[in-house]
Structure 1
């Protein structure tokens, strides 16, 4: 069976300020189109989500890779995951430093080690061994990230206070289905400003920040990490779909459950094994975009659904 490919990407669910609104929209549109061009040329969903997330990691509008925020020590610690729904292969990295594209490294962990997740010093040692290029921390840090960190230092705002606001930047991700009906997902983040050194959120955790299984679909999440972990949000969506719910209903039910159960807000993107997709969130804004049937759909505010025709030769 020849499936019509679909890709959906997100740039994080939070209170995106007006001065980042336009760059966030442009960023997710570029990532979605780039990922879809791989699918249109017969590439796999795994290749497509990796490429889309790399583009978002390279864009300073987002908190991943080059736009990462600073931890309590003023350093950058990055997390990422990638998963192949065909065989449940998964690679994940957490608390890594000086690597521009954590999602690419996560895929290397998946393909070149017998493990699923590498963390901290051990992960960085492996990166050196396989000659993944290191870049100076200052190249990953924007002026805005430094200003934000200095504010938290000045006012000694606790991370606990931060967690339940929507001020924190957040996470990027992608889900896709290719022409062979294989689904994949990827998620990447720089975490939250002033987080404790060594803190790991939901993004690199299988079942929380992402999950993909050809039997049901693929999900990438974003939002309050500790809440997402408590309800294993990505897997929760797929459980709901396994019960017969559509991607949109399953997403809404899962986000509502998280809000009611642990008072956490967030967002997610999902694609089903039949190519149905949804982008849903309970925060003020979430930048997202999808491409299917040469139609680019995107939004930022609740209820927004803009469309543009794009041309890819399938």
Structure 2
């Protein structure tokens, strides 16, 4: 079945004078740029302050921006006190990638430590590993001086209790008994069902349950970086790790080309590495907007109901975005001419 996709109009020009074209948002000269998913303007402006006013690196900007969202609990999808899993616990995923060195650090299912993006930065800076997960990631964080504390709040507990009182709906179980559409389990594999019989369920992701801040940035030296932070899918099965900390899925940066960061239905999106796909399309000469659209088009060919968005930044400062399954997708930008973030909205493909 052929799916129809809608391209979006874009801006082009200097920070003080733009005109409409169909290629991407672009700054005229090499200059710092900060770009992130959703209208998380406080995070954008903190990253901008770091990379522009303080003349820090793109990696520093990513850490500062994502940390801001962790503290503000952006939309309840980033940081502590949001997206409880089936047991009521909030766990965190994050990654940071340096496009200059192609080094990265990530944490998955991080427990009882709030500063997920900074722990990921410590994995990158102080180990030869790329990712640590679960309680072992927590132990690493504590050894690096991070504080151990509960990530549960009254709000997250209330979300979890409401879900339990609603027969644990929705959830992420399939091909099990008792019926996960009417029961909280415990579940056992159903030998009468097979993977090919699986019924596709409507995505639980939306504008307010979208899983992640994804951020990309360029600094004054032209170095590019990318990162993510999230508390994952609400009511996930404990131990679940989504796309956010996976390089090429949640985010990707290549100093020779550019960077991208994705958000949305992570269990689907991680199977296609959309951030890597977008960067590789730019390597072939595509504009950031077209590269992002291509990456999402690849997913929609298999999962036409998936929900997600992507922001894409080329090494020369041109940027764009694409989305699928929502009405619109807001993303935030800071660049030359203003210390305030601008929110753009892209009309999504369906």
TM range (shorter): 0.7 to 0.9
Q: After TM superposition, give the deviation of residue 299 of structure 1 in Å.
A: 3.3
Any idea what SS the aligned residue of 2:270 has? helix
Any idea what SS the aligned residue of 1:56 has? helix
Residue in 2 that maps onto 1:268: 310
Structure (1 or 2) with the larger CA radius of gyration? 2
Q: After TM superposition, give the deviation of residue 105 of structure 1 in Å.
A: 0.4
Residue in 1 that maps onto 2:119: 105
Tell me if the contact between 1:217 and 1:272 (Cα under 8 Å) persists in the aligned partners. yes
Residue in 2 that maps onto 1:214: 255
Q: After TM superposition, give the deviation of residue 206 of structure 1 in Å.
A: 0.8
CA distance in 1, matches of 2:73, 2:218: 27
TM-score when normalising by structure 2: 0.76
1:178-225 per-residue CA deviation (whole Å, 9 max, x = no partner) reads: 111110001011011111010111000111111101111111110111
Tell me if the contact between 1:255 and 1:265 (Cα under 8 Å) persists in the aligned partners. no
> How many residue pairs get matched?
284
Residue segments in structure 2 that go unaligned for 5+ positions in a row:
1-28, 173-199
Q: 1:154 aligns with which of 140, 154, 165?
A: 165
Q: After TM superposition, give the deviation of residue 117 of structure 1 in Å.
A: 0.3
Residues 1:57 and 2:84 aligned together: no
Residue in 2 that maps onto 1:18: none
CA distance in 1, matches of 2:97, 2:283: 19
Residue in 1 that maps onto 2:181: none
CA distance in 1, matches of 2:202, 2:134: 23
Q: After TM superposition, give the deviation of residue 287 of structure 1 in Å.
A: 3.9
Alignment of 1:220-259 (within 5 A): 220-259=261-300
1:228-263 per-residue CA deviation (whole Å, 9 max, x = no partner) reads: 111111101111111111001111121122112233
Residue in 2 that maps onto 1:22: none
Tell me if the contact between 1:49 and 1:175 (Cα under 8 Å) persists in the aligned partners. yes
Any idea what SS the aligned residue of 2:302 has? helix
Q: 2:58 aligns with which of 35, 42, 45?
A: 45
Residue in 2 that maps onto 1:6: 33
Any idea what SS the aligned residue of 1:230 has? coil
Q: After TM superposition, give the deviation of residue 281 of structure 1 in Å.
A: 1.8
Alignment of 1:1-314 (within 5 A): 3-11=30-38, 25=39, 28-40=40-52, 41-62=54-75, 63-138=77-152, 141=153, 143=155, 145-155=156-166, 156-160=168-172, 164-167=203-206, 168-263=209-304, 264-282=306-324, 283-295=326-338, 296-299=341-344, 302=347
Residue segments in structure 1 that go unaligned for 5+ positions in a row:
12-24, 304-314
Q: After TM superposition, give the deviation of residue 301 of structure 1 in Å.
A: 6.5
More displaced 10-residue stretch of structure 1: 190-199 or 34-43? 34-43
1:151-185 per-residue CA deviation (whole Å, 9 max, x = no partner) reads: 32222214238771334342112100111111000
Query: Cα distance 1:113–1:265, how it changes in 2: closer, same or farther (>3 A)?
Result: same
Structure 1 or 2: more helix by fraction:
1
Q: After TM superposition, give the deviation of residue 36 of structure 1 in Å.
A: 1.0
CA distance in 2, matches of 1:229, 1:3: 31
CA distance in 1, matches of 2:84, 2:302: 29
